[in-house]
Structures are given as structure tokens and as C-alpha cells.
Amino acid sequence: ILFSASGHLTPAGILVLASYILDLFDGYTARRLHASSEFGLQLDSLVDMVSLGTAPAVLLFMHLQSEGLTAWWTWPFVVMIPLAGAFRLARFNLLPPKKTGNTDSVGLTISTGGATLALAVLSDLTVPGEHLPEWTFIVLAFVVSILMVSTIPFPSFFWIFSRKKTNIALVSLFGVSILVTTFFPAWFIWTNAYLGLALARAGYNKVR
């Protein structure tokens, strides 16, 4: 947040991604150390709210400011991000334990939502040439916020990488995409592909 506020957007975005990666392993680490507790669950939600809800929102807002978009109407879209994240976390904490074998999450997780926004900004900052139109970030903020408060089932990465052949194929494709473009845009494209996969799967299950 301090990096974003002082105009250092690239390191700010990288720290958001670091928070995302650490968030993937905190629950696993707690279980392995037999340190899981209700206190830890609530503290984890508070940390996620700051590092993956508020920080990406500030990053996005400062990026829009640096691009010259200072209109008052951008504020609701930026504020919507941490509010939707708080709703998502509160709902998650009240849900009953998952049934064995069910790895889906109800709505987009705040961690993936925050990482998506950070990747969008980092992609815009690191790719040479014309920047993305400012309105695309507003639309992305709105879509991510709606997906977080939705009840659409999003598959876990465990489900996606549950097969060895799938792992090899995805890692290979990711490597090729980095060769075609740079790291952050490649990651951003794959994150959007994940969102598209979840929406397509939900739509298929709805009409099936």
C-alpha cells in the first residue's frame, strides 16, 4: 500500500503477487504443523483483506491516477474491490466444512481476484508501447468484484493440476507463452483463462 501511494507501482504489484503465493501455502503449512485454529482462520482473513483486497485496490487506483483518470466516478469501482473481498471472506468463514472430494470454492477467492488486478497493472506497466485503455481496468474491477460475491463454483488449482499429463501440458504452454510475451502478461492471460474456465464450466453444468 505504501509503495502504491508513493508511486512505486511495480514493486507494489509484485508484493501483491507474493502475498498471493504465500496465501496458497499458509493453510497447508498450518495443517502440517498441526497449528490450525479458529484464531488463525480469522487472522488469515484479516491479512487477506489487507494484502489481497485493499492493496490491489490502492494499486489500481494509483495506476488510474498516473494514467490521467482522476474522475470521481472511478472511486465506487475501486472501493467495491475490498468490500466484495470482505463479503467473500465473511461468507467463507461461515460456510460448513467441505465434503470430502469437493475442492471448489463458492465465488472467486479474494486472493485470485487481487492477483488478477495486480497482474493487469503489472502487464500494463511492463509491456512497451500503447497502454490499455483506462476503462478496461474499471470493467475488470467490476467483474472481479461481482465474481467474488457470486455463488459460481470456482475449481481449485488442485483440481486443475490433479493429473500428471495435465501438469506437463500446462507448464509447457505457460513456458511457451512467456517466450511469446513477457512474464506478467503471460500470467495475466492464464489467470483470465482460469476465470473463463470456471464460468464456462458453471454455464455447462447449468444447462446440462
The number of folded domains in the chain is 1
Residue 56 CA to residue 13 CA, distance in Å, equals: 7
Contact predicate 145/56, CB 8 Å: no
Tell whether 45 is covered by a domain: yes
Q: Report the Cα–Cα distance between both ends of the chain, in Å, rounded.
A: 44
Model pLDDT for residues 60-74, shown as the tens digit of each residue: 999 999 988 888 899
Model pLDDT for residues 13-39, shown as the tens digit of each residue: 999 999 988 887 777 777 777 777 777
- Span 120-132, mean pLDDT? 82
Tell whether 191 is covered by a domain: no
Mean pLDDT of the chain: 81
Tell whether 92 is covered by a domain: yes
pLDDT at 201 over 70: no
Which residues on adjacent β-strands are paired with residue 106? 153
Who contacts 100 (Cβ-Cβ below 8 Å, separation ≥6)? none
Highest mean pLDDT pick, 47-51, 90-94, 161-165? 47-51
- Span 142-154, mean pLDDT? 92
Residue 42 CA to residue 38 CA, distance in Å, equals: 6
Radius of gyration of the chain (CA): 17
Question: The domain containing residue 69 runs over which residues?
Answer: 2-152
pLDDT at 148 over 90: yes
